Amino acid sequence: MKKEKLTQVLVGAIMVALGILVAIFGTEAFDLYFGILAVAVGAVLLGYAIYLISKKQVLAPTFIIIPAVLLTVGITLLVGTIGFAALVGFLVVLILGFGAGLLLYGIYLIVKKATLNGIIHLVIGVVAVTLSILYLTVPDFAKAFWIIVGIVIALYGILEVVDAFIEKK
């Protein structure tokens, strides 16, 4: 049980640190965080593969491919060749399309006399479309968005730490 609490506190502390970094630096914090994580995990897995080779064990291709991919992705995240921002932009466009689809489906449901369900779909669609258009077109909104995301991540980390010390029945 003590290991679980320690792990929960460590995860909470990491979440708080990540949340603060995201609130300050936005998507660059994700690039740094996941870049370091990918390089570290890739290096450990590659070291394990080398250890297995030294023991004259036959390796499946994934024992070499996965560490190579992790190291490549991690390094490119750290040097700025690729970035989390490109993925975020793509996801925002997907959310825009999803919201538009919800709007159309909500109208369809209202026409089919499922008014409450249709209104729920319309509201969610309007929120998705509005937030994605604001994110894509208003630079200050994107900045505020990442501050909010960072605060939410940090608060979740604090919740994890507090939860580790609350007695559970």
The closest alpha carbon to 66, from 87, 88, 38, 91, belongs to 38
What is the per-residue pLDDT for 123? 94
How many other CB atoms sit within 10 Å of the CB of residue 82? 15
Residue 146 belongs to a domain: yes
What is the per-residue pLDDT for 103? 95
Between CA 95 and CA 106 the distance in angstroms is: 16
> Domain containing 41: what range?
2-162
Q: What is the pLDDT of residues 62-94, one digit of tens each?
A: 889 999 999 999 999 999 888 887 888 888 899
Between CA 131 and CA 137 the distance in angstroms is: 10
Q: Which residue type, as a one-letter code, is found at position 20?
A: I
Q: Rounded to two decimals, what is the model's pTM?
A: 0.61
Please provide residue 110's backbone torsions phi and psi, each rounded to the nearest 5 degrees.
-65, -40
Residue 169 belongs to a domain: no
Q: Quick check: 124 and 143 in contact, CB under 8 A?
A: no
What is the per-residue pLDDT for 44? 96
Between CA 145 and CA 6 the distance in angstroms is: 31
What is the per-residue pLDDT for 47? 95
Q: Quick check: 83 and 31 in contact, CB under 8 A?
A: yes
Residue 67 belongs to a domain: yes
Residue 68 belongs to a domain: yes
Structural domain count of the chain:
1
Q: Quick check: 153 and 15 in contact, CB under 8 A?
A: yes
Between CA 8 and CA 13 the distance in angstroms is: 9
What is the per-residue pLDDT for 97? 95
Q: What is the mean pLDDT of the chain?
A: 89
What is the per-residue pLDDT for 120? 93
Q: Which residue type, as a one-letter code, is found at position 21?
A: L
Residue 115 belongs to a domain: yes
Q: What is the pLDDT of residues 28-59, one digit of tens each?
A: 888 888 899 999 999 999 999 999 999 998 88
Q: What is the pLDDT of residues 114-152, one digit of tens each?
A: 899 899 999 999 998 998 999 899 988 888 888 888 888
| Residue carrying structure tokens 């690039």 | 31
What is the per-residue pLDDT for 121? 93
